[in-house]
Structures are given as structure tokens and as C-alpha cells.
A and B are shown apart, each in its own frame.
Chain A
Amino acid sequence: MFKIKASGVTKKFNERSVFKNIHFEISSGQSLAITGHNGSGKTTLVRIISGLMSPSEGSVKFYKNDNAIEPENVHSFIGLVGPYLQLYHNLTALENLTFFSKIRGLGANRSRILELMALMGLKGRELDYVKNYSSGMLQRLKYVFALLHEPEILLVDEPTSNLDEAGSAIVYNILKRQKESKILIVATNNPEESRIGQKRIHVGD
């Protein structure tokens, strides 16, 4: 059982406050939607939760069976999809995913990579350079990257950005399965997608 507990999270850029005093608690089998208009700080909050950014005040803590997870080990449990995360454009999709799989300590794990590529509708494009991928294919590839290690906590910033109808359906299916037994956090300004979250936080007002 995993748990995330955010207490008094505040972020300021210079003197400008993006959001103040955000609290939430979420456990395995639950989902959270972060909503707000453009520029309201959804992405900033996702980056803080994932450890890519530090809050100006407050903290985000992770627990496994009620034992705090050390900050340096949190990345092993997190999968993140976001527009600011890029893969190496001068490597092929397979080379990228093999690298990330190895660095996560999963070995080359070719069968898992091929399985996820097929799931995301990218079968047959494994040996293409990422620089030759379209924006929709890149978004699908980011899901493969995020799901490689079967993360206990999946954070998705703009889940269906650049995706066509078929791609969106695959993603909604993945999100549905994730929130059944694990933790799902979605940041979106799409009212339909915000319904994915059982809990909701509105930032920016």
C-alpha cells in the first residue's frame, strides 16, 4: 500500500505566488485530478509531486506500508508523462527505452518494451529515430517510458495531448487500470478528463 501526503505546499517564483497551502492525501487504489486554467500551476504542482521541483514551502512525502520512502528512492515508484519530458531524439525508440529500462535496474527487458510499444500502437516503429516521430507518436512513446517499470504512482500531465481518438482510448484504458489498484494523478483542464480523479484539487484561484 502506497500513500502520498502533501502538506502546505506553496510555490513562488520570485515574489509571485503560483499556489498556496495545498494539502492532499492519496493512497493506492485512488486517483486525484488537478484542474485549473492555463498558467494556474497544474504543471508546477505535478513537477513538485514528482520531485522535479522543490516547493517554496511545505512538503510532499511518500509512504510504503506506512514507512516513509527516502527521497532518493522515490523515483523508482514514479512514472510521469508530461509535455516537458523528452526522450533522446537521436536514438531510436528501442534504444531510448532500453536505456531507461537498464537505468531503472530492469535490464534490457526487450519483451516488456515490445509489449508496451504494441499496446500503445507503435508496433513496427521500434527502430525509428525518435526525431522522426510525430507529436502523437511521441506522446504514445512517453506512456511506454512511464509504464516500463509498472509504477505504483502514475502522474500524467495533459493525458491526451496530441493524441487522436484511438490514442486517447488507449490512454483512458491505461488510466482506468492504474487507478484500480495503484495511485493515479492527472493534471488537466479538460472537464471530461478531470472526472478520472476521485479526488480533485483546483489550483490558481
Chain B
Amino acid sequence: MGKNAFMWATKSLIIFQKDVQLEFRTRFAINAIVLFAITTLTAISFSIGPARLETTILSALLWIILFFSAMSGLSHIFVREEEQQTADTLRLVTTPLSIFLGKWLFNVVLLFALEIIIVPLYFILMNTSQSAGNNFLLFLLLLFWGSLGLATVSTIIAAIISQASARGALFAVLAFPISLPVLISSIHGTRLALEGNTFSECLPDLQILIAFFVVILTVSILTFEFIWKSN
């Protein structure tokens, strides 16, 4: 078991490295998600002007931007393999589990990288720095677990839609209902964090986010082989 786990981890990392290398060459996903996020953030910032929005709206805006950015870019990870006919080559050389874990890791890192750019901009452009000062650590914790859930949902849905013909529309349509628990808890928890609430007040939201992540990752690992070999 230990040897197998090490082998999967190693192969997943090799796939992750290959995807990073390809992404830096083509910039399909990076361009899509960064441009979407910055454009949306800037448009909202111009429309609200110097006004300060309610934390309820601010937290929802952040997660809407993150959700649609994820929808615009994270599906590339599998769609690219199918469109360029490299999926069969990949099927031939390694196990479905290592492919899923490598692709999942790539989407997680990509979403975190986006947040490193977007979150500071969000605080500056939305004039939220003062209210967030009290519980920034809690905010980061919610962002971490919410993003893990979002990246995992995006990865498994990307694998499903890569086998379909109407890929673009199908991704958001399938991902939205499955991501709903993440979005609701993340928006609620982020609002509490922005209002400076304590860890214990945010605990139910964090519990939902962690539980959701564990469940969706487990379900994804169990079902991926069937999805990946469904031809």
C-alpha cells in the first residue's frame, strides 16, 4: 500500500509538472481565469466608485468572481487532452488515479495562484481593508478550504464534460449545483470573517467546507476511472 501510494504520488507530480510546462507555453487557462477575474473586479470597482459595500455583498462578490473564474479556466485541464488527442496516449501509460491527482493538483495550484493576485486587488479595489483587519486569518482559512472544494468540483466536472460535445455550457451547468454547498458556506463564512467574528462563530461553515472537500475528493477518486474509461 505504501509503495503504491508513493508511486501514485510520484506519477501525479510528473503529470502536474508536464501540465505546468504546457500551461506556461500556451497560457490557455492562466489567461482565461486571470483576465476574467481582473476584468470583473475592475468593472465592479468602477461601478461602485468610492462607496463601501455591505459585507454581505462583498463576500458574495468575491466568491462569484472566484467561481466564474474557475468555470472559465479550470475545465481546460481535461478538455485540452481530448481536443489534442493526447488523452488516449495518457490512458496508455499510467493509471487513472495518478492522472486525476495530477490534474487536481494543477487546478488547486492554479486557483491558489489566481487568489494571490485577486485577493489583494479585491481588498484594495473594494475598500475592504479596514473591516478585514480583525480576522484576516479566518478569511484565509475559509478561502483555503473553499478553494480546495471548488478546484476539486471543477476537476471532476472537467473530466466528465471532456467526454461530451457541448463542453462550454455544460461545465457551468453541472458545476453550479454541485458547488452550491461550497459557495453558500464560503460566502456566509467570508461575511463573518470580514465583520471580524471569531473562529468559533465560523466553525459550522468551516466544518461544511472541510466535509464537502473530503466527500467530493473521495467520490471523485472512486468515480474517475469509470469516467476516464467511459468510451
Contact = CB atoms under 8 A, between A and B. Distances in A.
Q: Give the interface residue-count category, chain A.
A: 20 to 34
- The binding surface of chain A is classed by DSSP as loop
Interface string B166-206: 00000000000000000000000000000000000000000
Interface stretch (B40-48, B67-75, B87-95, B211-219): B87-95
A75 B229 CA distance: 14
A84 B22 CA distance: 20
Given A90-B22, A91-B25, A78 B92 contact: yes
Interface residues of B, number: 22
25 contacts: A50-B92, A52-B92, A53-B231, A54-B231, A75-B95, A85-B89, A85-B92, A86-B84, A86-B88, A86-B89, A87-B89, A88-B18, A88-B22, A89-B84, A90-B22, A91-B18, A91-B21, A91-B22, A95-B21, A99-B14, A99-B18, A100-B89, A103-B15, A104-B93, A104-B94
Contacts of B86: 86-88
Interface of B: 7, 11, 14-15, 18, 21-22, 25-26, 84-86, 88-89, 91-95, 98, 229, 231
Given A75-B94, A78-B92, A105-B7, 12 more contacts: A51-B91, A52-B231, A54-B231, A72-B95, A84-B88, A85-B92, A88-B22, A90-B25, A100-B89, A103-B93, A104-B93, A104-B94
Contacts of A156: none
A102 B88 contact: no
Contact of B84 (A52, A78, A88, A95): A88
Contacts of A90: 22, 25-26
Interface string A156-175: 00000000000000000000
Contacts of B231: 52-54
Nearest to B102: A103
A100 B17 CA distance: 12
A184 to B, nearest CB: 17
The 9 closest A-B pairs by CB, nearest first: A86-B85, A90-B25, A102-B14, A99-B18, A85-B89, A103-B14, A103-B94, A86-B86, A103-B93
Contacts of A145: 89
Interface string A46-72: 000011111000000000000000001
B11 A103 contact: yes
A85 B21 contact: no
Nearest to A47: B88
A102 to B, nearest CB: 5
Contacts of B88: 52, 84-86
